[in-house]
Amino acid sequence: MSNNHGLEPNSNYSFDLDINRTKTASLKYDGRQNMFGKAEVIPLWVADMDFAVPPAVTRALSKRAAHPVYGYTLYPESLYESLINWLRQHHGWREVQREWIVMCPGVVPSLHAAALAFSEPGESIIVQPPVYFPFFSAVTDTGRNLVQNPLYSDSGRYAIDFDHLEQCAAGARMLMLCSPHNPVGRVWSKSELERILYIAKKYNLVVFSDEIHADLIYAESEHHILATLAEDPTNIITAVAPSKTFNIPGLNLSALIVPDKNRRISITRAFEFLHVSASNPFSIVAFEAAYREGASWLTDLLAYLQGTRDLVEKYLATHLPKIQVTKPEGTYLLWLDCRKFGMSDAQLKHFFVHEAGVGMSPGTLFGEGGKGFMRMNIGTQRHIITIALENIRRASL
Ligand SMILES: Cc1ncc(COP(=O)(O)O)c(C=O)c1O
Does 249 contact ligand 1 (Cβ within 6 A)? yes
Whether residue 189 contacts residue 170, with contact meaning beta carbons closer than 8 Å, is answered with no
Task: Using pLDDT thresholds of 50, 70 and 90, give the confidence band for residue 156.
Answer: confident
Q: Is 279 in the pocket of ligand 1 (CB under 6 A)?
A: no
Does the beta carbon of 331 lie inside 6 Å of ligand 1? no
> Whose alpha carbon is nearest atom 13 of ligand 1?
47
Rounded distance from Cα 329 to ligand 1 centre (Å): 18
| 132 C-beta closer than 6 A to ligand 1 | yes
Q: Cα separation of 225 and 228, whole Å?
A: 5
Measured between its terminal Cα atoms, the distance across the chain in Å is 32
CA of 140 to the centre of ligand 1 (A): 18
Residues facing residue 374 across a β-bridge = 336, 362
Confidence label for 250 from pLDDT (cuts 50, 70 and 90): very high
326 lines ligand 1 (CB under 6 A): no
CA 107 to ligand 1 center in whole angstroms: 6
Q: Is 389 in the pocket of ligand 1 (CB under 6 A)?
A: no
Q: Is there an atom of ligand 1 within 6 Å of 330 CB?
A: no
> From ligand 1's centre to the CA of 2, what distance in Å?
33
Whole-angstrom Cα distance, residue 249 to residue 242?
Answer: 8
Closest C-alpha residue for ligand 1 atom 4: 107
- Say if ligand 1 is within 6 A of residue 172 CB: no
Residue 4 has pLDDT above 90, yes or no: no
**SS3 state of residue 242:** coil
pLDDT in the model for residue 12: 79
Q: Which of 49, 104, 108, 375 to mutate to test the pocket of ligand 1 (most atoms within 8 A of CB)?
A: 108
3-state helix, strand, coil in the chain (%, to 5): 45, 15, 40
Evaluate whether 145 touches 123 at the Cβ level (below 8 Å).
yes
Query: Does 208 have pLDDT greater than 50?
Result: yes
Give, in order, the Cα–Cα distances in Å from 351 to each of 26, 345, 389, 395: 24, 10, 13, 8
Rounded CA separation 240/136 (Å)? 19
Listed in sequence order, the residues at least 6 apart from 331 whose beta carbon sits closer than 8 Å to its beta carbon are: 180, 181, 182, 185, 213, 216, 244
CA of residue 276 to ligand 1 center, whole Å:
16
Report pTM.
0.96
* pLDDT value of residue 6: 34
Average pLDDT over residues 150-163: 94
Exposure of 266 in the CB half-sphere (CA atoms within 13 A): 18
Domains for the chain: give ranges and CATH numbers: 27-54+295-396 (3.90.1150.10), 69-293 (3.40.640.10)
Residue 131 or 274, more confident: 131
Any ligand 1 atom below 6 A from CB of 379:
no
pLDDT on residue 9: 43
Question: pLDDT class for 5, splitting at 50, 70, 90?
Answer: very low
The closest alpha carbon to 276, from 53, 78, 106, 88, belongs to 106
**Does ligand 1 lie within 6 Å of residue 212's CB atom?**
yes
The mean per-residue pLDDT over the stretch 166-193 comes to: 98
* SS3 assignment, position 236: strand
- Amino acid 159 reads A
Residue 11 has a pLDDT of 59
Between CA 314 and CA 183 the distance in angstroms is 20
CA–CA gap between residue 247 and residue 214 (Å, rounded): 13
Q: Mean pLDDT, to the nearest integer, of 323-327?
A: 95
pLDDT for 137 equals 98
With vertex at residue 240, the alpha carbon angle to CA 239 and CA 241, rounded to the nearest 5 degrees, is: 135
203 vs 4, higher pLDDT: 203
Length of the chain: 397
Report, as an integer, the average pLDDT of 359-385: 98
pLDDT in tens, 31-80: 999 999 999 999 999 999 999 999 999 999 999 999 999 999 999 999 99
Q: Which of 364, 357, 360, 341 is nearest to 394 (CA)?
A: 357
By the 8 A CB rule, do 83 and 240 touch? yes
Q: Report the C-alpha gap between 104 and 58 in whole angstroms.
A: 22
3-state secondary structure of 214: coil
Judge if the beta carbon of residue 106 lies within 6 A of ligand 1: yes
Model confidence at 223, pLDDT cuts 50, 70, 90, reads very high
Q: Is the pLDDT of residue 279 over 90?
A: no
Residue 249 CA: which ligand 1 atom is closest?
9
Question: Is 361 close to ligand 1, i.e. is its CB under 6 Å away?
Answer: no
Percent of the chain with pLDDT over 70: 97
Establish whether residue 243 lines the binding site of ligand 1, counting it when its CB lies within 6 angstroms of any ligand atom.
yes
* C-alpha–C-alpha distance, residues 301 and 312, integer Å: 17
> How far does the centroid of ligand 1 lie from the alpha carbon of residue 256, in Å?
13
* pLDDT, tens digit (0-9, with 9 covering 90-100), for 13-39: 999 999 999 999 999 999 999 999 999
* Chain-centre distance for alpha carbon 309: 16
Q: At what angle do helices 295-319 and 382-396 cross, to 10 degrees?
A: 20
Does ligand 1 have an atom closer than 6 angstroms to the CB of 149? no
Mean pLDDT, rounded, for 242-265:
98
Q: To test the ligand 1 pocket, which listed residue (188, 244, 335, 378) has its Cβ within 8 A of the most ligand atoms?
A: 244
Q: Tell me which residue has its CA closest to atom 14 in ligand 1.
A: 47
Closest ligand 1 atom number to CA of residue 254: 10
